[in-house]
Structure 1
Amino acid sequence: MTKRRQFVQGIAALSGFSLASCGWQLGNINSARNSGSRNLYIYTWTQYVDQELVQAFTAESGLKVVVDVYDSNEVMLAKLLAGGGGAYSLIYPSDYMVQKMEAQGLLIELNHDRLSGLGQLFPQFQNPSYDPNNRHSIPFNWGTTGLIYNSEILKDAPEDWDYLWQNQSILNKRMTLLNDVREVMGATLRMLGYSYNSKDENQIKAAYEKLVELKPAIASFDTDAWQNQMLAGDLTLAMCYSVDAIKVTRENPQLKYVIPRSGSSLWTDTIVIPKSAPHIDEAYAWINFILQPQVAAMISQRMNIATPNSAGFEKLPDEIKNNQNLFPPTAVLEKCERITPLGELEDIYERYWTRLTSN
């Protein structure tokens, strides 16, 4: 099960934040006002939507926002398929999960005439491979997967995934890998010169065997706990998501984040409206709110996430715009791949993963 990267706590100091000051218009939600239905239910990641932001939206729109959370794409999908998601008008799946949900007929096709600001997205987010022309989703934020290390201990920065194997004795029991089959197998495949999304069983097996060699030196497969361990000095290196790395490096500048030169994964989190959504007008109102440049910039700055909104990007301070961990240069991104659904082959990945992590 793919565990979700945990976003930093909340957007602080949003007092005085006004949607009106952002030039935001309520748009066509009069029907919602008149219907007597005042709640907008959102299903999103743990600690994702900040209450200050929710309150600002409510103050201007009159719509009460109720947030439920999940910690993995798979948990969210299972709930929807079991019929437990009928109250939600908005969900925040990751890119590959958009493909799965669309294939199962769970998403409405968005009416772009009802959305404001799509043209302000960076070009690469206006026609993403996981959802051409944003037919079913709107990008919310994006990032990379890489390595964070203690530069006081490791004087030479890790440059690629093979650093883990080459320095296995130094890193022994002082490194962690993500608890994520597709990320860990994908990174190893990439190191071997293959695709993150390899469909070749021989290549998948080779990646597994390479990881077996590294297994004795791995402290754990972990997605979240490494942060406190790294800050406490108990770890020297961890595989992680950029959003978490940036938070930790701000707490301790001696900790550095790198994107391996052979390439890594590039992920995007999105906003979708499920076909079971009870309140479509309210859902569009929230999306238009999020698409406002000032709102996008505020979220990016406070939550250490990379906005896909070019107009919002321009409102960020230079120190954030120039942060290459947050906004990597094109040359780096060109070597990264999105994780894509692999159908029945995912069972093969899972089989090797179970074998690797259970021994």
Structure 2
Amino acid sequence: MPQYSTPFVPRPRALPPAGPSRRGLLRAAFGAAALAPLAACSVPGARVHVPTGQAEIARAVSGFWAGRKRSGKLDFVNYTQYIDVDPADQSRHPTLAAFTRESGIEVTYSELIDDSASWFGKIQPEFASGQGIGYDLMVVGGDSYLTKYIQLGYLAPLDHSRLPHFARYGGAAFKNSSFDPGNVYTVPWQSGMTGIGYDPAQVGRKITSWQDLLDPRLRGRVGMWNDAVQMGNVALLAVGVDPETSTPADWRKAAAWLRRQRDAGMVRSYSTATYQSSLQRGDLAASLVYSGDVFQANQSGSKLEFVIPDEGGLLWTDNLCIPSTAAHPVDALTYMDYAYRPEVAARISETVQFVCPVPDAQRIVARDAAAATGRRRSVLDALSTSPLVFPTTSDEAKLRHLRVLDEEEEKQWNALFEPIYQA
């Protein structure tokens, strides 16, 4: 097991970030802003045949990995503030240092990804020309851009015989997603849930359903988002439809539900950027929220509740994947498996505080909390017991994945949902 010479201390929230964090970027541009460039223009490059069926996938895996060996180097690119840090040196990441000590693989770690659209635009020309993009491992959201990477042949099929820790410790909710059935190309890096956040003192009762966001007693105090992807998917849940298997007829039904909510004057604002602060100030009584934002708000003294409604909530993931042009793919695959060790996943979660895809990491965080004192102990106690970071089995059963859209479907989807918050 890797040893960590630097004890974890929660990163002081007062420190200015080196760049926009993944949490902030999710609030600012998870859905509609990321989809618009893809839907608006054709993407250069010819689609390739995507292997299907176990035999065909096995041949693709064998063909890619045959003869490849570890090189001792790894170039890893990620979002800002999306891995563990040494509080004394923000550029140092203890789990990466431990990985190098154990494996001998030197890691060059970069935080250059801002959002799906701009990152795809930056590296797509290199992919299209057959050149390497300079990275062996990257984090990609489970959105339409990930589908595009797969369709264009830009990702390496994963050799799961070299991912025993993912097989053993990866949570069932984080495997076999609709955007990558069988985890052929990806394994989750971090995850999160979309549900309802509310202030019990303002609402005066428990919220349990998406229909509660139509309650006349909350008129003018509900927050929704200027995000066609998330809004459309939660509205599908509200009308009793699983987003993954939804049809255009279902989308129209969901759009009608959102228009009903808007026309009844329920919504104070449609904003992904300001809902957290509005909830904390009391301007909103209830809002569509990311689970991690409620956890962090409560660490700052708020007393908000997060609920996965009875009709279901959304589970989204950011994913580790290996570019098909990677110079050091075996090293990348080695790190992928390393990240699924519970003690490694725990260290990352203690800093990032997103939903952890390794349920067994919870016991490690609890152990660290028991050994800690002061502020660190209270933070880790809260983390280890929070269903916002380690969802319960009953919560996981209510989570659904986002609808995967092709380019033509995106146009229909956006035409239905964007006017609701743009009006």
Q: Answer yes or no: same fold by TM over 0.5.
A: yes
**1:109 corresponding residue in structure 2:** 157
Equivalent position of 2:75 in the other structure: 40
Question: Structure 1: where are the runs of 5+ without partners?
Answer: 9-27, 33-37
Q: Which moved more, 1:297-306 or 1:216-225?
A: 216-225
- The SS at the match of 1:78 is helix
Q: 1:192 to 1:272 in 2, by over 3 A?
A: same
Structure 1 residue 233, shift from structure 2 partner: 2.8
- Change in 2 beyond 3 A, CA 1:289/1:331: closer
* TM alignment of 1:46-57, pairs within 5 A: 46-52=80-86, 54-56=92-94, 57=96
2:337 is the alignment partner of 1:294 = no
User: Deviation at 1:209?
Assistant: 2.6
CA distance in 2, matches of 1:51, 1:196: 36
1:73/1:94 contact within 8 Å kept: yes
After TM superposition, give the deviation of residue 116 of structure 1 in Å.
5.0
Note if 1:258 corresponds to 2:307: yes
Which segment is superposed worse, 226-235 or 80-89? 80-89
Q: Would the aligned equivalents of 1:148 and 1:257 in 2 still touch at CA under 8 Å? A: yes
Per-residue CA deviation, residues 270-300 of structure 1 (Å, 9 max, x unaligned), is: 2001112233244234324422321111222
> 1:183 aligned to 2:218?
no
Task: Name the CA distance, whole Å, in 1 between partners of 2:306 and 2:113.
Answer: 27
The Cα shift of 1:136 comes to 1.4
The 1:350/1:7 distance shift into structure 2, 3 A limit, reads closer
Alignment equivalent of 1:339, drawn from 394, 397, 402: 402
Q: Following superposition of structure 1 onto structure 2, how do residues 158-237 of structure 1 map, counting pairs within 5 Å?
A: 158-167=207-216, 170-172=218-220, 174-197=221-244, 199-215=246-262, 216-237=265-286
Q: Distance in 1 between matches of 2:135 and 2:206?
A: 45
Amino acid at match of 2:151: A
How many residue pairs end up in the alignment?
330
Give the secondary structure class of the aligned counterpart of 1:117. Answer: helix
**Which deviations, in whole Å up to 9, do the C-alpha atoms of 1:55-79 show, x marking residues without a partner?**
3324735735332333433333333
Q: Distance in 2 between matches of 1:39 and 1:193?
A: 45
TM normalised by structure 2 equals 0.68
Report the equivalent of 1:95.
Answer: 142
Q: Is the 8 A contact 2:355 2:388 kept in 1?
A: no
1:310 and 1:149 map into 2 onto residues whose CA distance is 26
Distance apart, 1:146 and its partner CA = 0.6
Identity percentage of aligned residues = 23
> Aligned equivalents of 1:224 and 1:258: distance in 2?
20
Task: State the alpha-carbon separation in 2 of the partners of residues 121 and 198 from structure 1.
Answer: 24
Q: 2:206 aligns with which of 144, 154, 157?
A: 157
1:279 to 312, 324, 328: 328
Find the aligned partners of 1:139 and 1:128 in 2 and give their Cα distance.
10
1:31 aligns with 2:71: yes
AA matched with 2:322: I
Deviations 1:21-69 (A, max 9, x none): xxxxxxx99733xxxxx67241x33432344385332473573533233
With normalisation by structure 1, the TM-score equals 0.79
Q: Is residue 121 from structure 1 mapped to residue 170 from structure 2 by the alignment?
A: yes
Q: What do the CA deviations read for 1:220-273 (whole angstroms, capped 9, x no partner)?
A: 332232222322333322211112221112223421111111112122222001
CA distance in 2 between partners of 1:137 and 1:301 (Å): 23
Q: From the superposition, tell whether residues 157 and 7 of structure 1 become closer, same or farther in structure 2 (CA, over 3 Å).
A: farther
Pair 245,29 (structure 1): closer, same or farther in 2 beyond 3 Å? farther
One-letter amino acid matched to 2:352: M
Q: Which moved more, 1:130-139 or 1:259-268?
A: 130-139
Q: How many angstroms does 1:110 deviate by?
A: 1.8
Q: Tell me, which stretches of 5 or more residues in structure 2 are unaligned?
A: 1-20, 27-67, 367-380
Cα distance in 2 between the residues matched to 1:275 and 1:329: 36
